[in-house]
A and B are shown apart, each in its own frame.
Chain A
Amino acid sequence: MGVNGPGPDDILSALEALADAEEAPPPDELRARVLAAAVAERPSGLAIDVGEPMSPFAAFQSQVAAVRSVAGALSDEDWDRPAAPYPWTLHELLGHLVGVETYLGSILGLWDFEATAPEEDHLAITEPEVERQRVRPPADTFATWEAKVDAITDHVASRGPEYLTEDVTFHTYPFSVGSALVARTFELWTHADDIRRAMGLPMEAPAPDVLREMSDLSVRNLFSATIVTAPHQCERSARVVLTGEGGGTWRIGADTETPDVTIVADAVEYCRMVSRRIDPEDLTVDITGDRQLALDLFEAAQLLAA
């Protein structure tokens, strides 16, 4: 209390107390009316800061630019820095990306790709390219990566928006061209952050629209992935709420009256967990319902990350 008696904050507290004294239960039927009016204004599941869905191609291009920017600033000495969590240097990490772009370009029909490892093994199929690039100057590896990703970008741009809905097989899983580009967006963002981490730079979250595309791809496919990782869970249901910029709310799995589990996590943290940069045990998360189902879904989320 102020020296001369109650101050402004004290009076605000008094006003709060006055408000408390006036509580009265509303009619029961008002609840449904209020909730219906609310979702009429903003649909359930739509986060507050996300506008029209972003093109998967635009999302891909945004993270191509991110890698180009952060890798393009590396000095000769920087390329020898370790690229945690891999047993690679940053040079070898970029060699891996050359391999991935070569693989992606092959499934888009741009060129051939000889898989010397099982196609579902994202890391193993790029090992030959990592070996080839290891003995080249880093600047040449970077130029090769740029040439390949630019060729992919030009190809997709030339085919128009309908191309994004065409079916492809990506690491043995059925994808659309668009969803494959979003999966690549996920990877490029992750590796851009790997480079930043190696350089002691702050991590960066993608723009909300890009993050939303990545989150959406991951969450919508959680139960599909459980067919591989936890088949006994694939008939269950979940509500996933990703908070913060680019987040959203998804109701996935079986059409049950109430979800078997509700998972609430920060959108950026969730995506870092998906890309195996945060362990599920270290994810800040609120779980209501079947906790084991949540853990199985996290494992499923990491299925395509390497």
Chain B
Amino acid sequence: MAPSGGAWERRIVDRIAAGDETALAEVYDAYSPLVFGLAVRTTRDNATAEDVTQDVFVNLWKRPHRFDPERGSLRALLAAMARNRAIDVIRSRSASQRREENDGRLAAATPDGSVEDNALRTERSEAVRRALAELPEDQRTAIDLAYFAGHTYREVATLLGIPEGTAKSRLRIGMQRLASLLEAEGVVSWA
């Protein structure tokens, strides 16, 4: 099991700031599956996902003080960095190139096959999948386009042919519903 916990994260980032490259290696070993997985899911291209993964960890090495333990976990920061970097990459492509790549590469988007047929690796992953499946299709589609494909709510509205207010509503209600489902599954809990 990868190391975890706030004390470990603070200590490891202090070591990174002190120039200890073995600390970066430890963070890579702990979190590269998370970063790479998110990058693949978002960019739908393994080579691009490798570049995104490299960018995320190099940026952590260059700017370790971006990690503020008061604002969240290192895991959450790296996930956000991965997603944001991946979205930056796919937004830089032309819309037509994106459609072509989605058609041609969707089936090979992950190491194990299509996005929808991903092998479930952990019980937590299964629970998240179940929660997503319980969402109404319109909310699930909106979340998929916004969170994983990186579209703004305006772009989601355009892609789905719906008013912007409807897109925002589907995203907000969908995420609230998802949060409730995950709590019921015991995946997340909050005070």
Q: Which residues of A contact B (CB under 8 A)?
A: 1, 5-6, 9-27, 30-31, 33-35, 37-39, 41-49, 239, 241-244, 247-249, 262, 264, 267, 286
Interchain CB contact (< 8 A) of A242 among B18, B24, B187, B190: B18
- Complex Cα distance, B35 from A30, in Å, reads 12
Some 7 contacts from A to B, beta carbons below 8 A apart, are A10-B190, A18-B147, A19-B79, A27-B50, A31-B32, A38-B61, A249-B20
Chain B proximity of A34: nearest CB distance (Å): 5
**In the complex, which residues 1-55 of chain B have their Cβ closer than 8 Å to any Cβ of chain A?**
11, 14-15, 17-25, 28-29, 32-38, 40-41, 49-50, 53-54
A37 touches B58 (CB 8 A): yes
A5 to B172, CA, bound (A): 12
| Interchain CB contact under 8 A, A42 and B61 | yes
Q: Closest residue of chain B to A26, judged by CB?
A: B36
Q: Select which of A1, A34, A39, A239 is within 8 A of B53 by beta carbon.
A: A34
Contact check: which of B50, B128, B175, B179 meets A26 at CB < 8 Å? B50
Indicate if B166 sits at the interface (CB-CB under 8 A): no
Given known pairs A16-B188, A48-B65, the reply for A11 and B15 (CB within 8 Å) is no
- Cβ of B158 within 8 Å of any chain A Cβ, yes or no, is no
B residues contacting the other copy or chain, number (CB 8 A): 62
- Measured in the bound complex, the distance between the Cα atoms of B166 and A110 in whole Å is 84
B contacts, CB < 8 Å to A: 11, 14-15, 17-25, 28-29, 32-38, 40-41, 49-50, 53-54, 57-58, 61-65, 72, 75-76, 79, 82-83, 110-112, 121-122, 124-125, 127-129, 132, 147, 175-176, 178-180, 182-183, 187-188, 190
Which of B65, B124, B175 meets A20, CB within 8 Å? B124
Docked CA distance A35–B24 (Å): 8
Taking a contact as CB atoms under 8 Å apart, the answer to whether A48 and B180 are in contact is no
Chain A to chain B: the 3 pairs with minimum beta-carbon distance, closest first: A24-B37, A6-B179, A243-B14
Q: Which residues of A contact B63 (CB under 8 A)?
A: 48
Quick one: given A31-B28, A33-B54, A47-B19, are A25 and B147 in contact (CB under 8 Å)?
A: no
A29, closest chain B residue (CB): B50
Quick one: closest B residue to A40, CB to CB? B58
Task: Check B58–A38 contact: CB distance below 8 A.
Answer: yes
Contacts of A30 in B (CB 8 A): 32, 36, 50, 53-54
Q: Give the chain B neighbours of A242 by CB distance below 8 A.
A: 18
Q: How far does the alpha carbon of A56 sit from the alpha carbon of B187 in the complex, in Å?
A: 56
